Amino acid sequence: MTLQSRPPIGPVVLEIDDIHTYYGNIHALQGVSMNVREHEIVTLLGSNGAGKSTTLRTISGILRPRTGSVTLRGKRIDNVAAHDIVRMGVCQSPEGRHVFPRLTVDENLDMGAFIHSDAQVADDRNRVLTLFPRLRERLKQRAGTLSGGEQQMLAIARAMMGRPTVLLLDEPSMGLSPLLTDVIFDAIKEINATGVTVVVVEQNAQLALSIADRGYVMQTGRIVLTDSAAALTQNETVRKAYLGEG
Amino acid sequence: MSQTLAPALPTASRQPNFGTLARNLFIAVVLTYPFLDLAFGWQALLAFIPMMLMITLAMGLNIVVGYAGLLDLGYAAFYAIGAYAAAFFTSPVSPLNAILPDSPFFWMQDFWVAMLLAVLVAGLAGALLGAPTLRLRGDYLALVTLGFGEIVPRLVKNLEPWTKGVKGMNPIGRPYLFDCTFGVDPCTIFGTQYKLGMIPYYYVTLAIGALSIFLIIRLRNSRLGRAWAAIRDDEIAAQGMGVNPVTTKLWAFALGASFSGATGAIFGAYLQTISPDQFEYSTSVIVLCMVILGGTGNVWGVMFGGLLIQSFDRIFAERLTGWVHKFGAATGVPAVATLLSNFDLLRSRLFIFGLCLVLLMALRPQGLLPARKRRESALIDETEEEANARHDAAVAQAGGPQ
C-alpha cells in the first residue's frame, strides 16, 4: 500500500481547556486540557476508567463539561448540541461501535451521510468502500450480523460519510484480532493522509503510538503526561504502565 | 441509496405471476366490495367500515411504535381528540354551534374542514404529549403514554359543558360529496334518487386508508423516516450522524397522532355519536396488538394483522358461532345440538384473542410479516467468533494486511 504524502501539520484546530465533566456526582474529568493540530494524529492513552472516552464524549457533545471550554477553530462548542457538532465537521466512531444493528451496511453508510444530500455522497461512499473492501461485499447485510472487525470498519466508514475534518475514534482495536487491528490502523493512517485530523483513544498504547504524532496519557481523570509519540514510546513510565515492560 | 455496487445477490425466488394476481384480485374485491356485499347478501359492509378505520389507526400507531421505536400505550387518546375535535366543530350540541354559524368562521362547520382541523388538533396534541416524554425511553415512556391515555377520557367525561360528558356528543356533522350527504337519506344524482346507505362511508374510509398507506410509505422512505430508524436502533449513534433526536421524536408523535385525527373524525360521523367509553385503554391495546401481530414497522404486515384481528372480531366470531349452531341442529342428535348451541365465540373472543397473542409471541415474536425479511444468505446465523475467524482466514489468504 502506498501512502499518500501527508499534508503538513497546521495550526491548532481543537482546543480543550480545563474541562471538568461529571456523571451525576462522579467527577470524571478533573481539569483536562489538550490540543490537536490540523492533520495530526493524536492519541489519548490510559487504563480503564481514566477518562479517555469521557473526554471524547465531551468533545462530541454527548456529555457537557460543567466548567472549562472546548473550542473548534476558534468557536466554542461545549454548549452546542451533539447533532450540530457533527455538522461542524467533527465525527465520531464511538466505543463499542454503535452501528445500527437492524439497518444494512448500505443503510448505515447512508445514515452517516445524513447531513449531506448532494451528489458528492456517492463519491464518499465509493471512497470508504475502497478503504474497506470488506464492507462492499456485505452492503446488503444487516450490520448486527457483521463480525466485530467488520462492525468497526463500518463505524469508521460511517463516520467518514459525514465528511469530518476531525475524526474521533474510541478504541478502534477493542475486541479485535491482531490481524484485523492492523487493517483498521492502516486505514486510519490512510484517512489521516487525506487531510483528516484524527484523535484516537486506545488501550493498546504500542499500536496507537506507532501511528500517532503526539500522545496524552490520562490517569483518574487527569492528563499526567504529554509528549511526541516517539518520546512517549521511550518514556520509562509509559513503558512500564502501558507497553507491558518492567 | 441502494446502488449498483451490490454483489449480484440472487433475488428471492418469488412467483411474480401469482403474487400480482393475488394483489390485483385483492384490490378488485376491496374496490367493489359494497356491491359484492349487496349481490351476495353478506351483510358485512357495516363491519368493514370500522374495520378499515381501525387498520388506518394501526398504520398511524405504526409510525410511533414501528418506525420511531417509541412504545405508545395511549394512542386511543389521539383518536378521541380527533373525534371530539370534529364533533366540536360540527355537532349541533357543541357550544360552538351557538357562535359559529353567524361568525366569519362558519366554514369550520363543514365536515371536511372540521376533519382537517381534527387532523391538526390531534397532531398538535401528539407533539404536546411528545414534548415531556422526550427524555424517557422504553418502559418509562410507555407508562407516561398510558397515563395520557387515561387522562383524555377522564377529561372528556368531566368537561361536560364542552363535551357533554358521559352522554357523549350526538349527532355529528356528516361528510358529503357534491350534493349528497352521507347517511340513510336517499341521494339525488343526475335527477335519479339512489338509496346508497353506508356505501359512501365505505369509499371515503377506503380512500383515507389508501392515502394513509401512501403517505406512510413515503414517510418511511424519507429523510425523516431514516432518522426514525436510526433513533430506534441507537439514539446516541443517531445523534452522532447529525440527527436531532428532539425534533425527530416530536415529528413521530405528531404525525402518528394526526392519522388518528382523521380516523376519529370519520368514525364519529359514521356512528353519529361519540362518548368517552369508546376511547378507553382497551382500544389502545387492540390497536397496538394489530401493529405487533402483523409485524411492527411493516405497513403491509400491520394491514394484515389488523385485517386478521378485526375481521375475526367483527365478522367471523359471529358467523362461525351461527354456523356451529346450525351444524349442531343439522346433526339431529339432541345432545350434540344442545352442546353446540352453547358454543359462543363472541363471548370468548377476548380469550381466543389473548391465546393467539401468546402463541404468536412464543412461536413468531417478530410478527406475521416482519419489517425486514431475512434476505441475507446463511451468513446471518454466524456467530461473531465464526465471522471473525472466517475474516482472519480471508485476510491471511490474501497475503496478510497490506
Tens of pLDDT along B150-171?
999 999 888 888 888 888 888 8
B16 touches chain A (CB under 8 A): no
Q: What is the mean pLDDT of the segment spanning B268-291?
A: 88
Size of interface A-B (CB pairs under 8 A): 140
- Give pLDDT tens digits for A157-185: 999 999 999 999 999 998 888 889 999 99
Interstrand relation of A214-219 and A41-45 (parallel, antiparallel or unpaired): parallel
Q: What are phi and psi of B366, to 5 degrees?
A: -80, 0
- Region B36-52 average pLDDT: 85
Of residues B224, B200, B65, the one with CA closest to residue B145: B65
In a domain, residue B358? The reply is no
Residue B18, in any domain of the structure? no
Q: How confident is the model at residue B355 (pLDDT cuts 50, 70, 90)?
A: confident
Grid cell 454466524 — which residue?
A: B382
Contact A136 B5 (CB under 8 A): yes
d(CA A14, CA B299): 46
Q: Point out the residue among A83, A126, A145 whose CB comes nearest to the CB of B379.
A: A145
Nearest residue in chain B measured CA to CA from A159: B241
Percent of chain B with pLDDT over 90: 27
Q: Select from A92, A102, A180 the Cβ nearest to the Cβ of B392.
A: A180
- Per-residue model confidence (pLDDT) at position A32: 95
Interchain CB distance below 8 Å, B396 and A179: yes
B379 touches chain A (CB under 8 A): yes
pLDDT the model gives residue A192: 95
Order of strands across the sheet that contains A65-72 = A26-37, A12-23, A65-72, A75-76
Q: What is the pLDDT of residue B391?
A: 59
User: DSSP secondary structure string, A133-153?
Assistant: HHHHHTTTSBGGGS-HHHHHH
Contacts of A182 in chain B (CB under 8 A): 401
Average pLDDT, integer, range B365-377: 60
Average the pLDDT over A102-115 and give the result.
93
Q: What is the pLDDT of residues B301-316, one digit of tens each?
A: 888 888 888 888 888 8
Of B227, B375, B388, the CB nearest to A140: B375
Distance between CA atoms of residues B222 and B94, nearest Å: 39
Q: Cα separation of B140 and B355, whole Å?
A: 27
Weakest mean pLDDT among A29-38, A203-212, B294-303: B294-303
What is residue B6's predicted lDDT score, i.e. its pLDDT?
45
Give the pLDDT score at A210: 93
Calpha distance A170→A200 (Å, rounded): 6
Contact A162 B242 (CB under 8 A): yes
Residues from chain A that touch B5, judged by Cβ atoms under 8 A, are: 126, 129, 136, 139
Give the residue-averaged pLDDT of B181-200: 75
Using a CB–CB cutoff of 8 Å, tell me whether B160 touches chain A: no
The enclosing H or E element of B389 equals: helix B384-397
From B232, B241, B391, residue closest to A150, measured CB to CB = B391
Task: Residue B237: list chain A partners with CB under 8 A.
Answer: 94, 98-100
Looking at the structure of chain B, the number of domains it has is 1
Using a pLDDT cut of 70, give the percent of chain B over it: 87
Determine, yes or no, domain membership for B313.
no
Residue B322 falls within a domain, yes or no?
no
The amino acid at residue B318 is E
pLDDT of residue B311: 84
Count of C-beta atoms within a 10 Å radius of residue B18? 9
Three-class DSSP category at B299 = helix
Residue B278 banded pLDDT, cuts 50, 70, 90? confident
* pLDDT at site B2: 43
Is B33's pLDDT higher than 50?
yes
Q: Is residue B305 situated within a structural domain? A: no
pLDDT tens sequence across B118-148: 999 999 999 998 888 877 877 888 898 999 9
Whole-Å CA distances, B368 to A120, B14, B22: 40, 18, 18
Task: Map B149-218 to HEC letters.
Answer: HHHHHHHHHHCHHHHCHHHCECCCCCCEECCEECCCCCEEECCEEECCCCHHHHHHHHHHHHHHHHHHHH
Of B230, B236, B401, the CB nearest to A62: B236
Question: What pLDDT, on the 0 to 100 scale, is given for residue B379?
Answer: 37
Interchain contact, B7 vs A177, CB within 8 Å: no
Q: Is the pLDDT of residue B9 over 50?
A: no
User: CA distances (Å), B117 to each of B113, B125, B153, B164, B261, in order?
Assistant: 6, 12, 20, 20, 9
Chain A hits for B2, CB-CB cut-off 8 Å, are: 106, 140
Q: Is B396 exposed, middle or buried (0-12, 13-18, 19+ CB in 10 A)?
A: exposed
pLDDT for residue B8 is more than 50? no
Interchain proximity A109–B1, CB inside 8 Å: yes
Structural domain including B223 reads 31-279
**pLDDT for B390:** 60
State residue B400's pLDDT score: 44
Parallel, antiparallel, or unpaired: how do β-strands A222-228 and A214-219 relate? antiparallel
> Which of B6, B223, B229 is nearest residue A103 as measured by Cβ atoms?
B229
Rg over CA atoms, chain B: 25
Instruction: Report the pLDDT value the prediction gives residue A140, as an integer from 0 to 100.
Output: 92
pLDDT in tens, A124-147: 999 999 999 999 999 999 999 999
- Read off the C-alpha cell for A36: 490537536
- Give chain A's mean pLDDT: 91
Say if B158 is an interface residue toward chain A (CB within 8 Å): no
The DSSP output letter for A177 is -
- Predicted local confidence at residue B382, as pLDDT: 46
Report the sign of the C-alpha dihedral through residues B363, B365, B369, B374, in that order. Answer: negative
| B388 interfacial to chain A (CB closer than 8 Å) | yes
Is A114 within 8 Å of B227 when comparing Cβ atoms?
yes
Residue B221, judged by CB atoms within 10 A of its CB (0-12, 13-18, 19+), counts as exposed
B266 CA: distance to closest CA in chain A (Å) = 36
Q: How far is it, in rounded angstroms, from Cα B296 to Cα B372?
A: 10
In a domain, B395, yes or no: no
The closest CB to that of A112, out of B241, B245, B382, belongs to B241
C-alpha count within 13 angstroms, C-beta hemisphere, residue B182: 23
pLDDT at res. A191: 95
Asked whether A52 and A146 are in contact (CB, 8 A), the reply is no
Give the containing element (helix H, strand E) for A181: helix A178-193
What's the rounded Cα separation, in Å, for the pair A62 and A28?
14
Distance, in angstroms, between A207 CA and closest chain B CA? 15
Identify all chain B residues contacting A150, using CB atoms and an 8 Å cutoff: 387, 391
Higher pLDDT pick, B194 / A139: A139
Residue B25 in any domain: the answer is no
Domains plus CATH for chain A? Answer: 12-89+164-242 (3.40.50.300), 98-160 (no CATH)
What is the structure's pLDDT at B316? Answer: 82
Where does the pLDDT of residue B373 fall: very low under 50, low under 70, confident under 90, or very high at 90 and above? very low
Which pTM was predicted? 0.82
Residue of B nearest to A87 (CA): B242
pLDDT band, residue B111 (cuts 50/70/90): confident
Q: Name every chain B residue with its beta carbon within 8 A of the beta carbon of A91.
A: 240
Q: Do B382 and A145 count as a contact with CB atoms less than 8 A apart?
A: yes
Q: What is the reported pLDDT for B116?
A: 94
The CB density around residue B373, as the number of other CB atoms within 10 Å, is 11
Interface probe with A: pick from B3, B384, B391, B392, most Cβ of A within 10 Å: B391
Report yes or no for ipTM above 0.95.
no
Whether B320 is in a domain gets the answer no
Of A111, A137, A148, the CB nearest to B7: A137
Number of Cβ atoms within 10 Å of the Cβ of B37 = 18
How many C-alpha atoms does A169 have within 13 Å on its Cβ side?
Answer: 34
Structure confidence at residue B377 as a pLDDT band (50, 70, 90): very low
